[in-house]
Protein backbone atom coordinates (compact mmCIF):
# COMPACT_ATOMS: atom_id res chain seq x y z
CA UNK A 1 0.00 0.00 0.00
CA UNK A 2 1.24 3.51 -0.65
CA UNK A 3 3.21 4.72 2.34
CA UNK A 4 4.32 8.29 2.17
CA UNK A 5 6.82 10.39 3.93
CA UNK A 6 7.51 14.03 3.23
CA UNK A 7 10.68 13.12 1.41
CA UNK A 8 9.84 9.77 -0.24
CA UNK A 9 6.67 10.70 -2.12
CA UNK A 10 6.91 11.37 -5.83
CA UNK A 11 6.22 14.96 -6.82
CA UNK A 12 3.90 16.25 -9.51
CA UNK A 13 4.19 19.81 -10.79
CA UNK A 14 1.11 21.71 -11.87
CA UNK A 15 0.42 24.85 -13.89
CA UNK A 16 -0.48 28.24 -12.44
CA UNK A 17 -4.10 27.59 -13.45
CA UNK A 18 -4.10 24.29 -11.54
CA UNK A 19 -2.52 25.95 -8.51
CA UNK A 20 -5.06 28.75 -8.53
CA UNK A 21 -7.87 26.20 -8.57
CA UNK A 22 -6.41 24.56 -5.46
CA UNK A 23 -5.98 27.96 -3.81
CA UNK A 24 -9.68 28.64 -4.36
CA UNK A 25 -10.46 25.57 -2.27
CA UNK A 26 -11.20 23.05 -5.01
CA UNK A 27 -9.53 19.66 -4.71
CA UNK A 28 -9.20 18.60 -8.35
CA UNK A 29 -6.38 19.19 -10.80
CA UNK A 30 -7.16 18.32 -14.41
CA UNK A 31 -4.72 16.42 -16.60
CA UNK A 32 -4.26 19.51 -18.80
CA UNK A 33 -2.82 21.33 -15.76
CA UNK A 34 -0.08 18.78 -15.07
CA UNK A 35 3.36 20.11 -15.94
CA UNK A 36 5.42 17.09 -14.95
CA UNK A 37 4.42 13.65 -13.77
CA UNK A 38 7.53 11.69 -14.67
CA UNK A 39 7.86 8.28 -13.11
CA UNK A 40 4.71 8.53 -11.00
CA UNK A 41 3.10 5.11 -10.58
CA UNK A 42 -0.63 4.62 -11.06
CA UNK A 43 -2.70 5.43 -8.00
CA UNK A 44 0.21 6.95 -6.07
CA UNK A 45 0.05 9.37 -3.21
CA UNK A 46 1.98 12.40 -4.49
CA UNK A 47 3.31 15.75 -3.36
CA UNK A 48 1.76 18.55 -5.43
CA UNK A 49 4.05 21.44 -6.33
CA UNK A 50 3.68 24.60 -8.34
CA UNK A 51 5.99 25.35 -11.25
CA UNK A 52 8.53 26.95 -8.96
CA UNK A 53 8.59 23.86 -6.78
CA UNK A 54 6.54 25.26 -3.89
CA UNK A 55 4.69 22.50 -2.02
CA UNK A 56 0.88 22.84 -2.29
CA UNK A 57 -0.36 19.66 -0.65
CA UNK A 58 -0.72 15.89 -0.94
CA UNK A 59 -2.94 14.32 -3.59
CA UNK A 60 -4.05 11.00 -5.03
CA UNK A 61 -2.81 10.57 -8.58
CA UNK A 62 -4.62 8.91 -11.45
CA UNK A 63 -2.67 7.98 -14.57
CA UNK A 64 -5.76 7.95 -16.79
CA UNK A 65 -8.65 10.05 -15.49
CA UNK A 66 -9.16 13.61 -16.72
CA UNK A 67 -9.07 14.44 -13.02
CA UNK A 68 -5.39 13.68 -12.58
CA UNK A 69 -5.02 14.77 -8.96
CA UNK A 70 -7.42 14.81 -6.03
CA UNK A 71 -6.06 16.74 -3.09
CA UNK A 72 -6.32 14.93 0.24
CA UNK A 73 -4.32 17.25 2.53
CA UNK A 74 -2.67 20.64 2.52
CA UNK A 75 0.18 19.07 4.48
CA UNK A 76 2.60 16.25 3.76
CA UNK A 77 1.07 12.86 4.57
CA UNK A 78 3.44 10.57 6.42
CA UNK A 79 1.13 7.60 6.75
CA UNK A 80 -1.66 7.24 4.16
CA UNK A 81 -3.17 4.25 5.92
CA UNK A 82 -3.49 6.17 9.21
CA UNK A 83 -5.04 9.08 7.33
CA UNK A 84 -7.65 6.78 5.73
CA UNK A 85 -8.56 5.30 9.10
CA UNK A 86 -8.93 8.71 10.70
CA UNK A 87 -11.06 10.04 7.83
CA UNK A 88 -13.39 7.05 8.06
CA UNK A 89 -13.82 7.56 11.80
CA UNK A 90 -14.58 11.24 11.22
CA UNK A 91 -17.10 10.43 8.48
CA UNK A 92 -18.89 8.04 10.82
CA UNK A 93 -18.84 10.60 13.63
CA UNK A 94 -20.28 13.27 11.32
CA UNK A 95 -23.25 11.01 10.50
CA UNK A 96 -23.89 10.58 14.22
CA UNK A 97 -24.57 14.31 14.37
CA UNK A 98 -26.68 14.77 11.21
CA UNK A 99 -28.49 11.50 10.54
CA UNK A 100 -31.63 10.49 12.38
CA UNK A 101 -34.59 8.20 12.03
CA UNK A 102 -32.92 5.75 9.65
CA UNK A 103 -30.59 2.77 9.63
CA UNK A 104 -29.70 3.35 5.97
CA UNK A 105 -27.49 6.27 5.04
CA UNK A 106 -24.31 7.22 3.22
CA UNK A 107 -21.33 6.78 5.52
CA UNK A 108 -18.62 8.11 3.20
CA UNK A 109 -19.23 10.44 0.25
CA UNK A 110 -15.93 10.61 -1.61
CA UNK A 111 -14.46 14.13 -1.85
CA UNK A 112 -17.10 15.50 0.53
CA UNK A 113 -15.58 13.30 3.25
CA UNK A 114 -12.01 13.96 2.07
CA UNK A 115 -11.79 10.37 0.78
CA UNK A 116 -11.84 10.85 -3.01
CA UNK A 117 -13.02 7.78 -4.87
CA UNK A 118 -14.63 6.05 -1.90
CA UNK A 119 -18.38 5.69 -1.42
CA UNK A 120 -19.74 3.74 1.52
CA UNK A 121 -23.44 3.19 2.15
CA UNK A 122 -24.98 1.46 5.11
CA UNK A 123 -28.18 -0.55 4.76
CA UNK A 124 -28.96 -1.62 8.30
CA UNK A 125 -26.55 -4.51 8.90
CA UNK A 126 -24.93 -4.50 5.44
CA UNK A 127 -22.25 -2.06 4.36
CA UNK A 128 -21.82 -1.41 0.65
CA UNK A 129 -18.55 -0.05 -0.71
CA UNK A 130 -17.77 1.51 -4.09
CA UNK A 131 -14.21 2.21 -5.18
CA UNK A 132 -13.90 4.74 -7.98
CA UNK A 133 -10.24 5.77 -8.21
CA UNK A 134 -6.88 4.09 -8.73
CA UNK A 135 -5.54 5.15 -5.36
CA UNK A 136 -8.36 3.47 -3.42
CA UNK A 137 -8.06 0.21 -5.32
CA UNK A 138 -4.83 -1.52 -4.18
CA UNK A 139 -5.40 -4.56 -1.98
CA UNK A 140 -3.63 -3.00 1.00
CA UNK A 141 -5.84 0.12 0.84
CA UNK A 142 -8.95 -2.04 0.56
CA UNK A 143 -7.92 -4.03 3.64
CA UNK A 144 -7.44 -0.84 5.64
CA UNK A 145 -10.83 0.53 4.60
CA UNK A 146 -12.66 -2.72 5.28
CA UNK A 147 -11.04 -3.23 8.68
CA UNK A 148 -11.94 0.28 9.81
CA UNK A 149 -15.54 0.06 8.58
CA UNK A 150 -15.97 -3.36 10.16
CA UNK A 151 -14.61 -2.18 13.51
CA UNK A 152 -16.84 0.88 13.79
CA UNK A 153 -20.04 -0.15 12.03
CA UNK A 154 -19.98 -3.85 12.99
CA UNK A 155 -22.04 -4.98 9.97
CA UNK A 156 -23.00 -8.59 9.23
CA UNK A 157 -21.34 -8.20 5.90
CA UNK A 158 -19.54 -5.82 3.58
CA UNK A 159 -20.21 -5.93 -0.15
CA UNK A 160 -18.50 -4.19 -3.02
CA UNK A 161 -20.58 -2.68 -5.83
CA UNK A 162 -18.50 -2.33 -8.95
CA UNK A 163 -19.07 0.53 -11.40
CA UNK A 164 -17.50 -0.92 -14.54
CA UNK A 165 -17.45 2.46 -16.27
CA UNK A 166 -15.54 4.11 -13.45
CA UNK A 167 -12.99 1.29 -13.52
CA UNK A 168 -12.58 1.71 -17.28
CA UNK A 169 -12.04 5.46 -16.92
CA UNK A 170 -9.44 4.76 -14.26
CA UNK A 171 -7.85 2.06 -16.38
CA UNK A 172 -8.37 -0.54 -13.66
CA UNK A 173 -8.90 -4.23 -14.42
CA UNK A 174 -12.52 -5.41 -14.55
CA UNK A 175 -13.94 -6.83 -11.31
CA UNK A 176 -17.31 -8.06 -10.32
CA UNK A 177 -19.55 -7.00 -7.46
CA UNK A 178 -19.50 -9.36 -4.52
CA UNK A 179 -19.02 -9.98 -0.83
CA UNK A 180 -15.86 -8.64 0.79
CA UNK A 181 -16.68 -9.85 4.26
CA UNK A 182 -19.46 -11.97 5.80
CA UNK A 183 -22.23 -13.77 3.93
CA UNK A 184 -25.40 -11.74 4.16
CA UNK A 185 -26.42 -10.01 0.93
CA UNK A 186 -30.01 -8.97 1.62
CA UNK A 187 -31.65 -7.14 4.45
CA UNK A 188 -34.51 -4.86 5.43
CA UNK A 189 -33.80 -1.27 6.36
CA UNK A 190 -36.04 1.41 7.83
CA UNK A 191 -36.05 5.09 7.01
CA UNK A 192 -38.57 7.57 8.41
CA UNK A 193 -40.47 4.58 9.79
CA UNK A 194 -40.93 3.04 6.32
CA UNK A 195 -39.37 -0.34 5.61
CA UNK A 196 -37.53 -1.36 2.45
CA UNK A 197 -36.06 -4.56 1.09
CA UNK A 198 -32.42 -4.31 0.10
CA UNK A 199 -30.55 -6.76 -2.04
CA UNK A 200 -27.08 -5.33 -1.69
CA UNK A 201 -25.79 -6.84 -4.92
CA UNK A 202 -28.73 -5.74 -7.09
CA UNK A 203 -30.44 -2.52 -8.08
CA UNK A 204 -29.19 0.89 -9.12
CA UNK A 205 -26.53 2.91 -7.33
CA UNK A 206 -25.68 0.83 -4.25
CA UNK A 207 -29.32 -0.27 -3.96
CA UNK A 208 -31.47 2.69 -2.98
CA UNK A 209 -31.61 6.43 -3.48
CA UNK A 210 -30.45 7.37 -0.01
CA UNK A 211 -29.89 10.97 -1.10
CA UNK A 212 -33.71 11.46 -1.23
CA UNK A 213 -34.32 10.30 2.36
CA UNK A 214 -35.09 13.72 3.82
CA UNK A 215 -37.05 14.72 0.71
CA UNK A 216 -39.35 11.71 1.15
CA UNK A 217 -40.30 12.97 4.60
CA UNK A 218 -40.66 16.56 3.37
CA UNK A 219 -42.87 15.51 0.44
CA UNK A 220 -45.05 13.40 2.73
CA UNK A 221 -45.73 16.44 4.88
CA UNK A 222 -47.67 18.17 2.07
CA UNK A 223 -48.98 15.20 0.07
CA UNK A 224 -52.72 14.61 -0.10
CA UNK A 225 -55.53 13.23 -2.26
CA UNK A 226 -54.69 11.36 -5.44
CA UNK A 227 -50.93 10.96 -5.80
CA UNK A 228 -48.72 9.98 -8.71
CA UNK A 229 -45.06 9.02 -8.16
CA UNK A 230 -43.36 9.22 -11.56
CA UNK A 231 -39.98 7.40 -11.88
CA UNK A 232 -40.86 5.61 -8.65
CA UNK A 233 -38.09 2.92 -8.77
CA UNK A 234 -38.65 0.76 -5.66
CA UNK A 235 -41.31 3.08 -4.28
CA UNK A 236 -39.30 5.53 -2.16
CA UNK A 237 -41.68 8.47 -2.54
CA UNK A 238 -44.86 6.44 -3.08
CA UNK A 239 -44.49 4.53 0.17
CA UNK A 240 -43.87 7.72 2.11
CA UNK A 241 -46.86 9.47 0.51
CA UNK A 242 -49.28 6.59 0.93
CA UNK A 243 -50.24 7.14 4.59
CA UNK A 244 -51.25 10.73 3.69
CA UNK A 245 -53.05 10.08 0.43
CA UNK A 246 -56.32 8.57 -0.74
CA UNK A 247 -54.76 6.80 -3.72
CA UNK A 248 -51.17 6.36 -4.86
CA UNK A 249 -49.88 5.21 -8.21
CA UNK A 250 -46.19 4.59 -8.96
CA UNK A 251 -44.80 4.63 -12.51
CA UNK A 252 -41.47 3.29 -13.73
CA UNK A 253 -40.11 1.68 -16.88
CA UNK A 254 -38.28 -1.01 -14.90
CA UNK A 255 -40.34 -4.08 -14.07
CA UNK A 256 -37.75 -5.49 -11.60
CA UNK A 257 -37.85 -2.17 -9.70
CA UNK A 258 -41.66 -2.28 -9.57
CA UNK A 259 -41.62 -5.85 -8.30
CA UNK A 260 -39.50 -4.74 -5.37
CA UNK A 261 -41.74 -1.69 -4.90
CA UNK A 262 -44.67 -4.07 -4.55
CA UNK A 263 -42.79 -6.21 -2.03
CA UNK A 264 -41.93 -3.03 -0.15
CA UNK A 265 -45.61 -2.08 -0.06
CA UNK A 266 -46.43 -5.50 1.41
CA UNK A 267 -43.74 -4.99 4.03
CA UNK A 268 -45.47 -1.79 5.09
CA UNK A 269 -49.00 -3.18 4.90
CA UNK A 270 -49.71 -2.20 8.48
CA UNK A 271 -48.55 1.33 7.91
CA UNK A 272 -50.72 1.59 4.80
CA UNK A 273 -53.65 -0.49 5.97
CA UNK A 274 -56.83 1.52 6.18
CA UNK A 275 -55.19 4.73 5.04
CA UNK A 276 -55.58 4.43 1.31
CA UNK A 277 -59.33 4.82 0.92
CA UNK A 278 -60.61 3.08 -2.21
CA UNK A 279 -57.90 0.46 -2.50
CA UNK A 280 -55.54 -0.76 0.12
CA UNK A 281 -52.77 -1.15 -2.37
CA UNK A 282 -50.51 1.19 -4.22
CA UNK A 283 -50.87 0.65 -7.95
CA UNK A 284 -47.58 0.12 -9.81
CA UNK A 285 -47.50 0.78 -13.54
CA UNK A 286 -44.74 -0.23 -15.92
CA UNK A 287 -44.57 2.52 -18.55
CA UNK A 288 -42.44 5.11 -20.25
CA UNK A 289 -43.14 8.17 -18.11
CA UNK A 290 -43.16 10.56 -21.06
CA UNK A 291 -45.80 8.53 -22.92
CA UNK A 292 -47.89 7.91 -19.83
CA UNK A 293 -47.95 11.58 -18.78
CA UNK A 294 -48.90 12.59 -22.31
CA UNK A 295 -51.75 10.07 -22.46
CA UNK A 296 -53.01 10.80 -18.96
CA UNK A 297 -52.85 14.57 -19.44
CA UNK A 298 -54.77 14.26 -22.72
CA UNK A 299 -57.41 11.96 -21.25
CA UNK A 300 -58.17 14.27 -18.35
CA UNK A 301 -56.54 12.48 -15.39
CA UNK A 302 -56.16 14.84 -12.45
CA UNK A 303 -54.03 14.57 -9.31
CA UNK A 304 -53.46 16.39 -6.04
CA UNK A 305 -49.81 15.35 -5.62
CA UNK A 306 -47.26 14.52 -8.32
CA UNK A 307 -43.63 13.53 -7.76
CA UNK A 308 -41.16 13.70 -10.66
CA UNK A 309 -37.78 12.11 -9.94
CA UNK A 310 -36.27 11.23 -13.33
CA UNK A 311 -32.80 9.77 -13.90
CA UNK A 312 -29.99 12.24 -14.65
CA UNK A 313 -30.84 13.60 -18.12
CA UNK A 314 -27.63 15.64 -18.33
CA UNK A 315 -24.75 13.26 -17.71
CA UNK A 316 -22.40 15.75 -19.34
CA UNK A 317 -22.53 19.47 -20.09
CA UNK A 318 -23.16 18.68 -23.74
CA UNK A 319 -26.52 17.07 -22.88
CA UNK A 320 -27.73 20.18 -21.11
CA UNK A 321 -30.08 21.56 -23.79
CA UNK A 322 -31.87 18.29 -24.43
CA UNK A 323 -31.97 17.62 -20.69
CA UNK A 324 -33.69 20.94 -20.04
CA UNK A 325 -36.25 20.16 -22.74
CA UNK A 326 -36.90 16.79 -21.07
CA UNK A 327 -37.37 18.36 -17.64
CA UNK A 328 -39.64 21.03 -19.05
CA UNK A 329 -41.83 18.55 -20.87
CA UNK A 330 -42.30 16.42 -17.76
CA UNK A 331 -43.01 19.37 -15.50
CA UNK A 332 -45.38 20.96 -18.00
CA UNK A 333 -47.44 17.79 -18.27
CA UNK A 334 -47.48 17.26 -14.51
CA UNK A 335 -48.56 20.86 -13.90
CA UNK A 336 -51.43 20.49 -16.34
CA UNK A 337 -52.67 17.49 -14.37
CA UNK A 338 -52.49 19.01 -10.90
CA UNK A 339 -55.65 20.32 -9.33
CA UNK A 340 -55.62 23.78 -7.74
CA UNK A 341 -54.16 23.34 -4.27
CA UNK A 342 -52.05 20.47 -5.60
CA UNK A 343 -48.46 19.70 -4.71
CA UNK A 344 -45.64 19.24 -7.21
CA UNK A 345 -42.45 17.58 -5.96
CA UNK A 346 -39.92 17.86 -8.78
CA UNK A 347 -36.32 16.67 -8.72
CA UNK A 348 -33.16 16.67 -10.77
CA UNK A 349 -30.04 14.71 -9.89
CA UNK A 350 -27.94 16.16 -12.74
CA UNK A 351 -25.04 18.16 -11.38
CA UNK A 352 -24.86 20.05 -14.69
CA UNK A 353 -28.36 21.46 -14.16
CA UNK A 354 -27.84 24.22 -11.60
CA UNK A 355 -30.50 25.14 -9.08
CA UNK A 356 -31.18 28.51 -10.82
CA UNK A 357 -31.50 26.73 -14.20
CA UNK A 358 -33.88 24.23 -12.69
CA UNK A 359 -36.06 26.94 -11.13
CA UNK A 360 -36.04 28.85 -14.41
CA UNK A 361 -37.18 25.74 -16.28
CA UNK A 362 -39.96 25.26 -13.72
CA UNK A 363 -41.07 28.89 -14.07
CA UNK A 364 -41.27 28.46 -17.84
CA UNK A 365 -43.22 25.21 -17.53
CA UNK A 366 -45.64 26.89 -15.11
CA UNK A 367 -46.12 29.83 -17.46
CA UNK A 368 -46.79 27.51 -20.42
CA UNK A 369 -49.23 25.47 -18.33
CA UNK A 370 -50.85 28.72 -17.08
CA UNK A 371 -50.41 27.69 -13.47
CA UNK A 372 -49.13 29.79 -10.60
CA UNK A 373 -46.60 28.06 -8.39
CA UNK A 374 -45.76 28.97 -4.83
CA UNK A 375 -42.47 27.48 -3.70
CA UNK A 376 -42.80 25.69 -0.38
CA UNK A 377 -39.31 24.21 -0.14
CA UNK A 378 -36.22 24.29 -2.33
CA UNK A 379 -34.22 21.32 -1.16
CA UNK A 380 -31.10 19.32 -1.99
CA UNK A 381 -29.56 16.01 -1.00
CA UNK A 382 -29.84 14.50 2.48
CA UNK A 383 -27.23 15.61 5.02
CA UNK A 384 -25.39 12.29 4.89
CA UNK A 385 -24.39 13.35 1.33
CA UNK A 386 -22.45 16.44 2.43
CA UNK A 387 -21.72 19.29 0.05
CA UNK A 388 -18.37 21.05 0.07
CA UNK A 389 -18.84 24.74 -0.57
CA UNK A 390 -15.57 24.92 -2.50
CA UNK A 391 -16.30 21.78 -4.56
CA UNK A 392 -19.58 22.51 -6.36
CA UNK A 393 -19.60 19.04 -7.96
CA UNK A 394 -20.49 17.58 -4.54
CA UNK A 395 -23.92 19.32 -4.67
CA UNK A 396 -26.04 17.67 -7.33
CA UNK A 397 -29.58 16.94 -6.18
CA UNK A 398 -32.43 19.44 -6.44
CA UNK A 399 -35.88 18.79 -5.01
CA UNK A 400 -38.42 21.59 -5.31
CA UNK A 401 -41.75 21.27 -3.53
CA UNK A 402 -44.40 23.70 -4.67
CA UNK A 403 -48.04 24.49 -4.24
CA UNK A 404 -50.18 25.04 -7.29
CA UNK A 405 -52.21 28.03 -6.25
CA UNK A 406 -54.29 28.38 -9.36
Catalytic residues: 349
Site size toward ligand SAH, by CB under 6 A = 18
d(CA 33, CA 30): 5
Count other C-beta atoms under 10 Å from residue 86's C-beta: 13
Shortest gap between Cβ of 389 and ligand SAH (angstroms)?
26
127, 248, 251, 262 from 282: Cα distances, Å = 30, 5, 11, 8
Query: Of these, 28, 209, 327, 396, which contacts ligand SAH (CB under 6 A)?
Result: 209
Should residue 200 be labelled a site residue for ligand SAH when binding is judged by CB under 6 A?
no
Rounded to the nearest 10 degrees, the angle between the axes of helix 355-369 and helix 320-337 is 40
Shortest gap between Cβ of 288 and ligand SAH (angstroms)?
4
Should residue 250 be labelled a site residue for ligand SAH when binding is judged by CB under 6 A?
no
Query: Of these, 4, 124, 212, 331, which contacts ligand SAH (CB under 6 A)?
Result: 212
* Residue nearer to ligand SAH on the CB measure, 249 or 289: 289
Q: Name, in order, each residue with C-beta under 8 angstroms of 124's C-beta and a sequence gap of 6 or more.
A: 103, 104, 187, 188, 189, 190, 198
Shortest gap between Cβ of 6 and ligand SAH (angstroms)?
45
Shortest gap between Cβ of 256 and ligand SAH (angstroms)?
9
Report whether 357 contacts 398 (CB < 8 A).
no
Count other C-beta atoms under 10 Å from residue 307's C-beta: 32
Should residue 206 be labelled a site residue for ligand SAH when binding is judged by CB under 6 A?
no
Q: Name, in order, each residue with C-beta under 8 angstroms of 154's C-beta and a sequence gap of 6 or more.
A: none
Should residue 253 be labelled a site residue for ligand SAH when binding is judged by CB under 6 A?
yes
Shortest gap between Cβ of 255 and ligand SAH (angstroms)?
9
Should residue 231 be labelled a site residue for ligand SAH when binding is judged by CB under 6 A?
yes
Query: Of these, 233, 284, 313, 327, which contacts ligand SAH (CB under 6 A)?
Result: 233
d(CA 241, CA 267): 15
Residues in the chain: 406
Should residue 309 be labelled a site residue for ligand SAH when binding is judged by CB under 6 A?
yes
> Among the candidate windows 29-37, 95-103, 104-112, 248-256, which touches ligand SAH by CB under 6 A?
248-256
DSSP letter at 21 equals: H
DSSP-derived pairing of the beta strands 194-199 and 186-191: antiparallel
d(CA 111, CA 71): 9
Should residue 405 be labelled a site residue for ligand SAH when binding is judged by CB under 6 A?
no
Contacts with ligand SAH, residue ranges (CB under 6 A): 209, 212, 231-234, 236-237, 252-254, 257, 288-290, 309-311
Amino acid sequence: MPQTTATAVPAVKISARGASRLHSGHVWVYRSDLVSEDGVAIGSVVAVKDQRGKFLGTALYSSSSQIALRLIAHEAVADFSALLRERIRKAIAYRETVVENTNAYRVVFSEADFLPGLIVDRYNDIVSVQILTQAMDPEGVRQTLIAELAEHLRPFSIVERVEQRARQLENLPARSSGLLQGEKTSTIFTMNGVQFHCDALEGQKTGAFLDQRENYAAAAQYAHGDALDVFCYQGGFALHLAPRCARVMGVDSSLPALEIADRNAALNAQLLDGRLSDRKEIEWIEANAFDLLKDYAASGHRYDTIVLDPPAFAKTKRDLDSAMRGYKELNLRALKMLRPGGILVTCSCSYHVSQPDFLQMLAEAAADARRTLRLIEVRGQAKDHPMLLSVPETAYLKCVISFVSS
